[in-house]
Amino acid sequence: MKKQQESLKNMVYQAILNGIFTDEYKPNQIINEQELVQKFGCSKTPIREALVTLCNEGILRSFPRFGYQVVSVSREEAQNILDFRLVLEGGYLRQSIGNITEENLAELAEIDERCKQSTDSVWDHWEANTAFHLKLISFSGNAYAYQELERTMNVLKRAYAQFYWQTWSNVNPALDIAHHNDIMQSIREKDLEKTQNYLKEDLADFCG
């Protein structure tokens, strides 16, 4: 029974998260617990557990006896996260650039190819672009840095969804990977300054 409850909770959690990504649930919208019970056809327990988890992760905000609000990510907050990414990714590039091999670069190139081939699907493209940056920081060998970037990318994914549905629906997703080749080439040349500058330009394309 406990396993079934956990499975239902995970199903509801993922469904709400996907609803945020697909604009079913908009920024600042109130989600009602009873409506979710009717929608998913299950008891309140897994619904409430999923909602509590989403609140703990900062995705929803609880208003007792009223509902759960979808937390909006402002452009300023998104920019602060991108600034953090630049420090995090750029800092670990400083440590790892001398040890990145041609084999490593081939792995990056393979992921970059996935990025180019996935521009018809916003979320396939997002996942491929995320994989590129996670692979890049993985060369540092620091598991904590990898996990922190992964967490950060999850927050940015919500911002990306919010901005995309509101203002970006006519934007070419390929624009946000325009500097991948530059990054890989400057790593090949072991030119840290150029690599960090290209990384900065790459991140700036998020809010461009």
Bridge partners of 179, per DSSP, are none
Q: Nearest to residue 39, comparing CAs of 62, 19, 61, 66? A: 19
CB-CB neighbours of 6 under 10 Å: 12
In whole angstroms, what is the distance from residue 199 CA to residue 180 CA? 8
Provide the pLDDT confidence category of residue 124 given band limits of 50, 70 and 90: confident
The pLDDT score that the predictor gives to residue 175 is 61
Q: Which amino acid is at 35?
A: E
Provide the pLDDT confidence category of residue 3 given band limits of 50, 70 and 90: low
For the segment 146-159, the average pLDDT, to the nearest whole number, is: 93
The pLDDT score that the predictor gives to residue 69 is 96
pLDDT more than 70, % of the chain:
92
Q: What is the secondary structure of the chain as a DSSP string?
A: -HHHHHHHHHHHHHHHHHHHHTTSS-TTPEEPHHHHHHHHTS-HHHHHHHHHHHHHTTSEEEETTTEEEEPP--HHHHHHHHHHHHHHHHHHHHHHGGG--HHHHHHHHHHHHHHHHTTTSHHHHHHHHHHHHHHHHHTTT-HHHHHHHHHHHHHHHHHHHHHIIIIITTS-GGGGGTTHHHHHHHHHTT-HHHHHHHHHHHHHTT--
The 10s digit of each residue's pLDDT in 23-50 is: 899 999 999 999 999 999 888 999 999 9
Q: Residue ranges of the domains in the chain?
A: 2-70, 75-204
Q: How many angstroms separate the first and last alpha carbons of the chain?
A: 49
For the segment 158-174, the average pLDDT, to the nearest whole number, is: 70
Instruction: Mean pLDDT check: name the lowest of 67-76, 110-119, 156-165.
Output: 156-165
Bridge partners of 30, per DSSP, are 69
In whole angstroms, what is the distance from residue 109 CA to residue 177 CA? 12
Same fold, 2-70 and 75-204: no
CATH 3.30.413.10 fits 75-204, yes or no: no
The 10s digit of each residue's pLDDT in 56-96 is: 999 999 998 899 999 998 889 999 999 999 999 999 999 99
**What's the CATH code, domain 2-70?**
1.10.10.10
Average pLDDT, the chain: 90
